Structure 1
Amino acid sequence: MRTTDAAVRLAPDLDLERLVRSGLITTSFAPVVDLDTDAVVAHRVFHTSAEIDSFEMDDFVAVRRAVRESPLAGDFDSSLRAIALREAQRLELPANNRLLLTTEPQSLVTVEDRTGEPDRSAILHLHPERIAMAPAMTLRSVRQARSLGWGIGMSSIGMDLTTTAFLPLVNPSVVMLHREVLRIEDAAHIAELIRLLHAHVERTDAIIVADGITTDADVRLARAMGARFGTGTHFGAPSRTPTPVDATREDPIAAHFTRNLPAQGTPFTIAQSLRRDPMVMDADMLDAQLRSLEERTLTAGRSAVVIGVFAGLDELPATTLDRYTRIADTAGYTVMLSNGFDSPPVPAAWGGAVDTSDPLGEEYASIMVGPDWSGMTVAKRRPAPGPDGRTEFDVHVTTERYACVDAARSVMSRIRALR
């Protein structure tokens, strides 16, 4: 029996397995529109229970919550993705009607080969909090999905500036704003968000999609923020029978620079690839160099990922602990790794174990990556002492964007889960 009872819509104990196995999942499609031309360029996919007649966003939220909280999240998410693709095929939606699918990182390992389909005809949208829960798996799986013809997007961006921190590491071609961003009245927050978003757009030619558009005023605000594309009830409610649309003359994401490289190596080997001779420093000079960048990160804000690598140290100086305590209070994500400790000595920081055979355990590094700025200092102890018998280090200092991003990805790929 179908129902529209609100209590059923929001049932916390939604039996997702029953709905999937019984074929009681329905797929709705919402238009994504070019705000300049009103042309439909894609459809956003929503899954709800077929036991409820009309679409409500709360229904979709309940289904996604059930997926996230299930120990079978990857399997359920893969099933929902397959249901959506089959439904799009049944409705004879042409391949140019790009699909935007909400996705859990656990299901990326099971994506199908779409290299025979038009480039990135389906975009898998990841939530930043879900990326943080499993960075190593996510970064590896994102590369695999791209190599199989899928596009990668990120959604729910902007309510908290921390949600922008993974933009450089994931490099989404589509950045979808949180549906409440257009309701934010804090002008300073909006200004900072615009700056961070457009730093990503300028470097990669990604596109911004404003969600939650309900009025002409929302359209104007979205355009003022630099979002060329939008979705929301202003353009029509999600429908189970969307109207196929012709391809636009311009592919919105054709220019996006994917740079789908594996997350491998260490910060030091990545810095070596810049083909610059390292500087040779003693311990005091190296400490000052690392400290200089770490102090700079204190002003980076919630959009930054800050990484400290401490070779095999099992204890850190009090000044370093104090500095990273302050960094962890201000940065979006602070990561501390050493061959000498499994848990970071700063409670608010994130971390993981470094295997004794991992060459990362021989390096010292400070890395900062944000949508608008990046920097890295990385060092490795020289095998022989200097002329005066003091320990010396080969040191690389760089703000080269992709070297910093690749170094951060190489470290994050070693972390099974943040927290």
Structure 2
Amino acid sequence: METLDAVEVPIRRLDDGLLAASLVRASGPSPRRRPPHRAVPAADVSVLVPVHLGPDSGARDALGHAVRAAAESRRAGRLVAVDEVGADPRASALLALLEPEIVILASGMLTRRADSDVAPTLHAVAAHVERTGAVLVADGVDSLRHRRRALELGATHGLGRLYPPALRAEPAERFPPSPTWSTPDVETPTPYATVASGRVPVRSTEHLLARMTATLEAHAATAGPDTLVLGTFRHLDHFCASTRSRWSGMAGGVAHAGAYAVGMKAGVESGVVHTPLDPADPLAAEWNVVVLGAHFAGVLSAVSTHHRHPAGDREFDYVVSYDRPTVVRCARSILRRGPSPAARRGTG
């Protein structure tokens, strides 16, 4: 994430060239940046530069910053856009998490052949656009050939050298015509507080919850490279060898796998980003698994009753949900936290 600068670029419809909006682009390491120019400001748009995802200990904080920045933008009345979608197949994970009103395809999507990376990105984008009504913009529309490819990818708007800067006021459509995101940005302290609201928790044993957790993790392992998986395990002791093995096997096929527990050492292990929890954090009392992708969303959240079943197993109250806005709120409630004191020290 970078600080927004004052560079504006015009976005135009691919069919008739009507100016749709001016776009405030973020400064960043992109190899192609056009010079500043003025355009007709039909909307106040913030662009979020893609967050680095994958097995990197900084990925969790970058995701948290993106969640907080998107919330701040909406509170200020600005739209949210995700840029460079398709440059990395994992970047599509931001669509489900942030629910941007504007999706900007990376310029490389117009020039490279359709391959195993392009197709999953287009499926993820299509799911997001159908679900929310977001506007799909193709970057790098520098020729009529690029325009034809942009239309093939499903884009309705474009920006590039084919569309020069607006030199005079032109009619501008509202862009997009209405808010598209569906998840209210209501901050809740933990996933359990989110999922249990309006639902009756079920009391069960630890053994059953472990099987349900493994099933949800199995869904995550096949959900695709645009999937975020977050797990909170209360204490490091509960992130046992079998769980570590499942998460390590899952991490290579998802955008980001993050595990949280009291006593956990900050860092990366077998592709899983580890984050220590402060014992005083309410999240440290919950057992959560959150899976959020373009085509699947699910959460299991449980809290201990501090009692044991007659058979000897510990008992928990748990709730599950496959309602996408609920799962999105659970993911955000975990990611929007700043690093705990232990995480900043890099110790467990």
Given candidates 4, 10, 19, the residue that maps to 1:40 is 19
Of residues 84, 102, 105, the one that matches 1:174 is 102
Q: Which residue of 2 aligns with 1:338?
A: 261
Q: Which protein has the larger Cα radius of gyration, Structure 1 or Structure 2?
A: 1
Question: Which of 178, 181, 196 is residue 257 of structure 1 equivalent to?
Answer: 181
Name the counterpart of 2:171. Answer: 246
Unaligned runs of 5+ in 1: 1-24, 49-56, 64-83, 99-120
TM-score by length of 2: 0.85
CA distance in 2, matches of 1:299, 1:154: 24
Which residue of 2 is the match for residue 123 of structure 1?
45
For 2:125 and 2:283, locate their aligned partners in 1 and report how far apart those are by CA, in whole Å.
32
User: Aligned ranges for residues 177-326 of structure 1 at < 5 Å?
Assistant: 177-236=105-164, 239=165, 242-248=167-173, 251-257=175-181, 259-273=183-197, 275-314=198-237, 316-326=239-249
The sequence identity of aligned pairs, in percent, is 25
Q: Distance in 1 between matches of 2:302 and 2:139?
A: 44
Q: Provide the C-alpha distance between the structure 1 equivalents of 2:158 and 2:176, rounded to a whole number of angstroms.
A: 13
Give the SS at the match of 1:128.
coil
The alpha carbon displacement at 1:343 in A equals 2.3
Larger relative strand fraction: 2
Q: Are the counterparts in 2 of residues 310 and 363 from structure 1 also a CA contact under 8 Å?
A: yes
> Residues 344, 387 of structure 1: CA spacing in aligned structure 2 closer, same or farther, 3 A cutoff?
farther
SS in structure 2 of the partner of residue 185 of structure 1: coil
Q: Which moved more, 1:180-189 or 1:340-349?
A: 340-349
Aligned to 2:63: 135
Letter of the 1:31 counterpart: P
Q: Which structure is higher in RCO with an 8 Å CA cutoff and minimum separation 6?
A: 2
Residue 260 of structure 1 and its aligned partner are, at CA, apart by: 4.5
Shift of 1:324: 0.7
> C-alpha displacement at 1:351, in angstroms?
3.4
| RMSD between superposed Cα atoms in Å | 2.9
Contact 1:135–1:415 (CA under 8 A) maintained in structure 2: no
Return the letter of the residue paired with 1:361: A
Residues 1:352 and 2:275 aligned together: yes
In 2, Cα distance between the equivalents of 1:414 and 1:293? 24
- The count of aligned residue pairs is 330
Q: Secondary structure at the match of 2:117?
A: helix
Question: CA 1:348 to 1:130, structure 2 compared with 1: closer, same or farther past 3 Å?
Answer: closer
Using a 3 Å threshold, how does the CA distance of structure 1 residues 397 and 315 change in structure 2: closer, same or farther? closer
* Amino acid in structure 2 at the alignment position of 1:340: G
Alpha carbons 1:307, 1:334 under 8 Å: kept:
yes
Deviation per CA, 1:277-296: give whole Å up to 9, x if none: 22222121111100011111
Gaps of 5+ in 2: 54-58
Rounded Cα–Cα distance in structure 1 between residues aligned with 2:145 and 2:276: 50
Counterpart in 2 of 1:60? 33
Q: Which amino acid aligns with 2:178?
A: A
Task: Work out the CA distance in 2 between the residues paired with 1:59 and 1:35.
Answer: 21
Alignment correspondent of 2:56: none
Shift of 1:412: 0.7
